[in-house]
Structure 1
C-alpha cells in the first residue's frame, strides 16, 4: 500500500544553512510521494525570493513578522496532506539511505507508534562512521530537529503550546501521546546530521534567553502533567542543580535566565492549572521506566 509524506521545515534568516539542507535532501524533494512545506517566519535575508525562484514546487508559508517556531510547526502539521510528516530543522539533513522505505516499514510494523525519533549526530562535520549497533526502542520523547509524525497520532492530541515560545513543546506532545496510549520510538536506522556545535551555543547572544526558556519549560511540564505529590521534589531538585552547576559558578547569564523563568511560571500559573492533563502516580511510574529521550548520538568508535 502506497503512503504519502509531508516534509516540514521552518526557517528564519538562515538562508545559507537552508540552501545546504535543501541540496542534501533533494533525493526526497524529487519523490512524487513527498510534498515539502516550508514556513518562513519573517526572514529579511531573501529566503522567500530564493525559494520562489529555485523551488517553485515547495509549498511556501510566510509571515511578515515573526509568529514563532511553535506556531509555524502547528500550521504545517495541520496543513500537510501526507500519512506521515517528516520534521527537519533548516540546518539538518539525512545521512541514511532508504528514508521513506524505513519510515513506512517501521510505522506499519508498530501501529501504536505515534512519533519516530531519529538518531541525531550534532556537528558541522560528517561523522567518521555512520553505522550503529543500536536497536529501535520505545523512549520517553523526541527532539524537534529530526522526527517523524504518524499524522493520525498528531490529530489525536492538542497542538503544540505556542505560549511555550521555544523549548519543551516536544515533551508536551510526548506526555499527551502517553496519555492517549501512543508511543514514541527511537529508530537508529534514520540518521540525521544536525549541523550545530552545542558547546559553542554558550557564546551566543541569546544564551540567557535559551536558559530562561529551557528552565521554565521543564517547570511548565511539571505543573501540566506530573502528580501533585511529586512536583515539590522535582522543583527543588532542578533548582538545586541549576544553583550548583551554574549560579554558584558565577554564570551571570544563567542566573538571569533562572530568575526570569521563575517569574514566567508565576505569571502563567493560572494557564498551567487550566490546561493541565495530569498523569496518575501509576502512569508516572510507567513513564519513568521508559528509556530517556535520546538527544545526542556519537559513533561507537569515537568518545
Structure 2
C-alpha cells in the first residue's frame, strides 16, 4: 500500500535544529500513514549518526560531499511514492493541530490544487495566539520552509533548477505549475513555526550579501525564463531602476550583490534560453492578477 504522507527534510550542519524538529514532530512521524526521509547534505557536526541513534525508524541518507539544497529536494521528491509530500526546513515544525487531516482535506476538496502553502510564523519564541483572519486563496508562489505537494503535480513539471543554487526555485516551480493548470493555494489553517531570528539575520552583512545576490538574480532568471518577450524589457529595466534608487538613497550594501547578480545572469543566459517556457499574453495577465505569496505571519496583539 502506498504511503499517504511523506515528510522531506534537507539538513546541513544544523543537528540541534533538526533534532528539535523531529522531537516536536514525533507524534506525527510515528503515524502508520507517514514516512519521513532526511538527507544530510555533507554535514560535519555528526548529524547522520545522531539521528540514526535517536530516531532509528526514520530514513536518513547522507551525501559525503554537499550536493546542494535543490539537488536534495529534487532527489527526495522524485523518489517518493507517497500521495502527498510535505517539505519542511530542519528548523520548522507544525503548530496547528490535525495538520495532516487539513492537508488531505484541502487536496481532496480542490482537485486542481497542486501545492499547499502553509501559514508561517517566523520566530525563535513560541506564541499562544495562533488565530488569524487570513483566508484560503490562490497565490503566485510559496515558501520553501513549509509546504505540501500533491505528488502527481510535482511529477508533471520539470525539476527545481539546480543552477539557481538557492532562492527563486519556488517561483520557478509555481510558474511551471500554473502553465500545467495546477494551482498553488495558501491555506492559513495549516500553521508552522520557522525558528529564525529575522532581526539577527538582517544584521549579518555577509549573510545579507549572499541572500540579496541570490534573490535578485533568481527574480531575473524567472523574468527571462517565463515572461513574454514584450514584457521582459519593462520588468527587467524596472528591477534595475529599483536597485539604482536604493544606491542613490545611500543603501550602498546592495552594490556588490547587485554587480555579482548581474554577472550571474550573463553567465546563465545559455541555460535560460535552453529552458525558456514563456507565458502566453493571456497566461501572463492571469498569473500577474494572483495574490502575492504569504511569507510572514505575525500573531495579532
**What TM-score comes out, normalization by structure 1 length?**
0.96
Give the structure 2 partner of residue 280 of structure 1.
280
Residue 240 of structure 1: CA displacement? 1.9
Give the structure 2 partner of residue 174 of structure 1.
174
Give the structure 1 partner of residue 190 of structure 2.
190
Residue 252 of structure 1: CA displacement? 4.2
Residue 249 of structure 1: CA displacement? 4.5
- Separation in 2 of the partners of 1:32 and 1:108? 20
- Separation in 2 of the partners of 1:2 and 1:235? 45
Give the structure 2 partner of residue 158 of structure 1.
158
**Cα root mean square deviation, aligned:** 1.5
1:129-174 CA-to-partner distances (Å, cap 9, x unmatched) read 1011222111111110000000000000000000000000000000
- Separation in 1 of the partners of 2:250 and 2:158? 39
- Separation in 2 of the partners of 1:83 and 1:243? 46
Give the structure 2 partner of residue 223 of structure 1.
224
Residue 197 of structure 1: CA displacement? 2.1
Residue 128 of structure 1: CA displacement? 3.9
Confirm whether residue 297 of structure 1 aligns to residue 297 of structure 2: yes
Gaps in structure 2 of 5+ consecutive residues: none
- Separation in 2 of the partners of 1:19 and 1:242? 40
Q: Are residues 249 and 61 of structure 1, via their aligned partners in 2, closer, same or farther at CA, if it must alter by over 3 Å?
A: farther
Question: Does the Cα contact within 8 Å between 1:3 and 1:104 map onto a contact in 2?
Answer: no
Give the structure 2 partner of residue 261 of structure 1.
261
Residue 202 of structure 1: CA displacement? 2.5
Question: Does the Cα contact within 8 Å between 1:122 and 1:194 map onto a contact in 2?
Answer: yes
Gaps in structure 1 of 5+ consecutive residues: none
Question: Does the Cα contact within 8 Å between 1:15 and 1:47 map onto a contact in 2?
Answer: yes
Instruction: Please list, as runs of the form range in 1=range in 2, the aligned pairs for 1:64-103 lying within 5 A after superposition.
Output: 64-103=64-103
Instruction: Please list, as runs of the form range in 1=range in 2, the aligned pairs for 1:41-56 lying within 5 A after superposition.
Output: 41-56=41-56
Q: Are residues 75 and 3 of structure 1, via their aligned partners in 2, closer, same or farther at CA, if it must alter by over 3 Å?
A: closer
Secondary structure of the residue that 2:286 maps to in structure 1? helix
1:61-107 CA-to-partner distances (Å, cap 9, x unmatched) read 21111110000000011112210001000010000000111111110
Q: Are residues 10 and 34 of structure 1, via their aligned partners in 2, closer, same or farther at CA, if it must alter by over 3 Å?
A: same
Residue 200 of structure 1: CA displacement? 2.0
- Separation in 1 of the partners of 2:106 and 2:28? 18
Question: Does the Cα contact within 8 Å between 1:87 and 1:145 map onto a contact in 2?
Answer: yes
Residue 251 of structure 1: CA displacement? 4.1
Residue 242 of structure 1: CA displacement? 2.1
- Separation in 2 of the partners of 1:157 and 1:280? 17
Residue 127 of structure 1: CA displacement? 2.6
Residue range with higher mean Cα deviation, 235-244 or 172-181:
235-244
**What TM-score comes out, normalization by structure 2 length?**
0.96
Give the structure 2 partner of residue 206 of structure 1.
207
Residue 195 of structure 1: CA displacement? 0.7
1:257-282 CA-to-partner distances (Å, cap 9, x unmatched) read 11000001101111101101000111
Q: Are residues 127 and 259 of structure 1, via their aligned partners in 2, closer, same or farther at CA, if it must alter by over 3 Å?
A: same
